[in-house]
Structure 1
Amino acid sequence: MQQATTEHLVIVGNGMAGHRLIEALVKQPGRPMSITVIGDESQPAYNRILLSPLLAGEMERDALSLHDANWHAQQGITLVLGERVITIDRKTKTLTTDAGRTLDYDRLVLATGSRPAMPPIPGLALAGVHVFRDLNDAFALRRAAETGGNAVVIGGGLLGLEAAEGLRKRGMDVSLIQRDDRLMNRQLDTTAARLLEAELRARGLAIVTDATLDHLTEDGQGHVTGARLSDGRWLPAACVVVAIGITPNTALGRDAGLEVNRAVIVDDTLTTSDPAIHALGECCEFQGNTFGLVEPIWQQVEVLAAHLSGQPVDGYVDTPCATKLKVSGVSLYAFGPTEPDADHDVLTYRDPVQGDYRRLLLRNGRIQGAVLYGDTAMGPWYFAHSRDGTDLGPCRQALMLGTADADALLAEHDLNPESPERPVKEAA
């Protein structure tokens, strides 16, 4: 069994990616003996995915907790909270925090995540304007909702929808502004987006699509009063939430002289242009891609944990991922392109009574993309066969009926001597 190394590993960032890395490292026999984690939030890592139900009042704070400070101590990990790393000196292998703390490192991991993207709109600095990214943001929005009144959410992606629905459940009258012609335009086709919009409107949300925000208005005392759209419409709001996307936190790496594009560039071992420094999660860029979903980041964690522990490991490969979402009680599952090409074979299924919708894009019998709304049970089956490049032509007529019917037809086809896909065995 490989022994633990004496290297001092410092992880900058105590979010979900950094915490997942710690959990993976403590299982490795060759883990660095000395590990320090620095986080700029005052509390240990928590599950950010659950911020939306926390805002909506469906969950309490304790449900978000991952591991407390005692767990870190038991694992021999030094946890530094409420401090932000401001400089990295690569020549001396030291870093400094805003509290004046200086630490030496042998290896350094940047897991600094991302920050909310902010559009160049006048009025965003007004009181009453919020983002929805961390625990403090969630509690600030809960306090803002206590007085009721009107709220405006800017952004029709997952986070914007969850913020809007959370504030609505807290008793506010909420308008949501989406620049595109449909909600969740990166994940959903037009039909699924319209079904989602109808459901949210029925609950009381005001949805404004094809809308561009011009500026926010104020009361003369520095507090927001509403949102003025470019077409002249005005939406009243004592609370505004900006949820238009994320921007990787690259300043620390850039200032240290690391190679940075949209994010900190890494190779297939999650190593930056400095062999002693690694980057992980939303702050890293691999082969031109950045990351905001859990699945690829968890894959990065496994690769980096093994690499830091001296274990043999295949390099990280950026593979396609399916998006499984639950937007305010509505299940969604999607992967691949949202719009068909001219040569796509398009299959659709819709049950208006149950509110279910499925659409597949196939090329030469192979699934290229899928959108499922409502009943998403077949989503993983579709994705697995898409990833494997399975020719589903033999079960085309059953693709919308269920996995059992489709699998039966595939099995029948495979056993059929006439099947062109059937492997030919050499005679003994």
Structure 2
Amino acid sequence: MLEKKKKIVVIGNGMVGFRFCEKLLEYDAFHEHQITVLGDELSPAYDRVSLSLLFDGKTESDLVFAESRWYEYCKINLRLGARVIEINRSAQTVTTSSGKSFPYDHLVIATGARPHLPDISGIDQEGVHVYRTTGDATSILNGSRAASHAVVIGGGLLGLEVAEACREKGLETTIVEQESILMACQLDEAAGRLLDMKIENLGLRLRLNARVQSLGGSGVVESVRFENGPPIPADMVIIATGIVPNDELARGAGLELGTHGGIAIDEHTLTSDPHIFAIGDCAAFNNSTFGLVAPGYAMAEVAAAQLGKINKTFTMATPASKLKLLDLQVASIGQIHLEAPEARQLIDQEPARGVYKKLIMSNDLKRLLGAILVGETSEFERLRKHVEQKLELPSNPRALLAPIGEPLATQLDMEDDDVVCFCNYVTYGDICRAIDEKNLKSTSDVMGATYAAGLCGSCLDVLDAVTKAYLARK
């Protein structure tokens, strides 16, 4: 007699929920599980990282990872527009707003996060947008056709991305940031000032050290008012001030939460209920949430592996980010705000070229603690690996940096566990194995087989160089 399949219910059909499904299909060698996916949005999972492509003429369907027929082929029960309103842990069921109930043996919560909305008077007016979903991007795109002055509140990665999209649409665009530099969490003052200058040279205006007091207008936004300094006109305002984990369902079900929100998980991505996993932006590991795709994908793989009876664990990810737009190269890794006497620093720069490189090292010069790269970022993976794996520094730490004007990617001195695509966590070894096992012949073949360069695309040049070099050696 065949054993009854275990019911796996996934709440959330975003990037991380989709990756979980892919990985569970891979790890479920004996087809022991039946997957049901409940997605709040009306479209299948899509590439949220590439939302800005919608401003360049791409459509929502261009961003979709897999059409409904893929779910059907994989025997996944996909329910779109299904908003879950309750988790009943004792009955092991979830209920949607339509009253439909779904039983589970294991539940995977992948509800992501929502935009943080600051307490600003007038924020609820017409013309004020957030930037998180295809619907948000479409609203901004539609609004840009009748607007002339856009103001983006928030000078982080997301704020810079949407500001550039507005500029490309011909809007006079101002970025408002309460700190003294853009990307203040990822850069020091020197790197921030260099980025500020590059941004202004592209035609974007900056308002730094600025605290927004209110949004002017009578139902339709007309201006942004500040606690300090004169107001600026705005017929479109976009809020990009961070995210908040969607942990309400877990809270209502009595699951343990992180100190600062998010659903508390262990190294196996299990919550305080042994039948419930949490992955992605909604999850808190060691009281930290991440807000990045790569840790979410790592969590998805760990959860799928656990259900496939494979022992994988999630570890604290090294903070690392790369700016993926504006033809600007900016990267940040690890602890970048440490100064003497806590740490020692090494700086290599050529202001005329717009290049700034900084290493933050332990006082005994044994470990790399963090790094900042502006203008050239080819050393990103080498430095990230040194920080994450706590590798010992060479006797001359400057050897970790490529000479300015000579990108490290051309050297291709890579090991199997070196990460080429940080978003999808594709290693050099993954690429070589895919080429060998699937007889791949081109960079585009490798992209399709491994997902490398499939999100932000910032690693495409390195991927192309790696692929061509490996194929040439075969």
TM-score relative to the length of structure 1: 0.89
What residue in structure 1 maps to residue 324 of structure 2? 326
Shift of 1:325: 2.7
State which of 222, 225, 229 in structure 2 corresponds to 1:225.
222
The 1:191/1:237 distance shift into structure 2, 3 A limit, reads same
CA shift digits 1:346-400 (9 cap, x unpaired): 1112223432221111222221110001211112112222333333352235343
What residue in structure 1 maps to residue 235 of structure 2? 238
What residue in structure 2 maps to residue 82 of structure 1? 81
Shift of 1:31: 5.0
- Whether 1:391 and 2:392 are equivalent positions in the alignment is yes
More divergent stretch after superposition (356-365 vs 27-36): 27-36
Matched AA of 1:243: A
Shift of 1:4: 8.8
- Counterparts of 1:340 and 1:93, CA distance in 2: 47
Within 5 Å, give how 1:261-340 maps onto structure 2. Answer: 261=258, 262-309=261-308, 311-340=309-338
- Counterparts of 1:297 and 1:226, CA distance in 2: 37
The 1:32/1:249 distance shift into structure 2, 3 A limit, reads farther
Matched AA of 1:251: E
- Counterparts of 1:174 and 1:329, CA distance in 2: 18
The 1:226/1:280 distance shift into structure 2, 3 A limit, reads same
Shift of 1:32: 4.2
Give the SS at the match of 2:324: strand
What residue in structure 1 maps to residue 374 of structure 2? 373
Within 5 Å, give how 1:163-178 maps onto structure 2. Answer: 163-178=162-177
Shift of 1:333: 1.7
Shift of 1:232: 4.5
Give the SS at the match of 1:194: helix
State which of 244, 247, 252 in structure 1 corresponds to 2:249.
252
- Counterparts of 1:354 and 1:4, CA distance in 2: 66
Matched AA of 1:186: C
Alpha-carbon RMSD across the aligned residues, in angstroms, is: 2.2
- Counterparts of 1:31 and 1:183, CA distance in 2: 49
What residue in structure 1 maps to residue 383 of structure 2? 382
More divergent stretch after superposition (8-17 vs 300-309): 300-309
Matched AA of 1:43: S
Give the SS at the match of 2:397: helix
The 1:315/1:387 distance shift into structure 2, 3 A limit, reads closer
- Counterparts of 1:371 and 1:58, CA distance in 2: 33
- Counterparts of 2:3 and 2:60, CA distance in 1: 35
CA shift digits 1:310-340 (9 cap, x unpaired): x131332213242233232212221122223
- Counterparts of 1:384 and 1:126, CA distance in 2: 46
Give the SS at the match of 1:43: coil
Identical counterparts, % of pairs:
36
Does the 8 A contact of 2:305 with 2:312 survive in 1? no
Does the 8 A contact of 2:346 with 2:398 survive in 1? no
Give the SS at the match of 2:26: coil
More divergent stretch after superposition (292-301 vs 169-178): 292-301
- Whether 1:148 and 2:147 are equivalent positions in the alignment is yes
Shift of 1:145: 0.7
Give the SS at the match of 1:165: helix
What residue in structure 1 maps to residue 45 of structure 2? 45
Does the 8 A contact of 2:109 with 2:279 survive in 1? yes
Does the 8 A contact of 1:85 with 1:98 survive in 2? yes
- Whether 1:354 and 2:359 are equivalent positions in the alignment is no
- Counterparts of 1:5 and 1:209, CA distance in 2: 60
What residue in structure 1 maps to residue 94 of structure 2? 95
Q: Which has the larger radius of gyration?
A: 1
Give the SS at the match of 2:295: helix
- Counterparts of 2:60 and 2:43, CA distance in 1: 12
Matched AA of 1:318: M
- Whether 1:183 and 2:179 are equivalent positions in the alignment is no
Shift of 1:182: 0.7
Matched AA of 1:47: D
Shift of 1:199: 1.4
The 1:260/1:397 distance shift into structure 2, 3 A limit, reads closer
Matched AA of 2:236: C
- Counterparts of 1:231 and 1:20, CA distance in 2: 45
What residue in structure 2 maps to residue 342 of structure 1? 340
TM-score relative to the length of structure 2: 0.81
- Counterparts of 1:316 and 1:30, CA distance in 2: 24
- Counterparts of 1:50 and 1:316, CA distance in 2: 26
Shift of 1:20: 0.5
CA shift digits 1:84-106 (9 cap, x unpaired): 00111112222211122221111
- Counterparts of 1:175 and 1:397, CA distance in 2: 38
Matched AA of 1:217: G
What residue in structure 1 maps to residue 451 of structure 2? none
The 1:149/1:275 distance shift into structure 2, 3 A limit, reads same
- Counterparts of 2:123 and 2:264, CA distance in 1: 31
Does the 8 A contact of 1:333 with 1:371 survive in 2? yes
CA shift digits 1:110-140 (9 cap, x unpaired): 1000000011111111111100000000000
- Whether 1:131 and 2:130 are equivalent positions in the alignment is yes
- Counterparts of 2:32 and 2:302, CA distance in 1: 15
Matched AA of 1:337: Q
What residue in structure 1 maps to residue 111 of structure 2? 112
Give the SS at the match of 1:392: coil
Give the SS at the match of 1:394: coil
The 1:175/1:391 distance shift into structure 2, 3 A limit, reads same
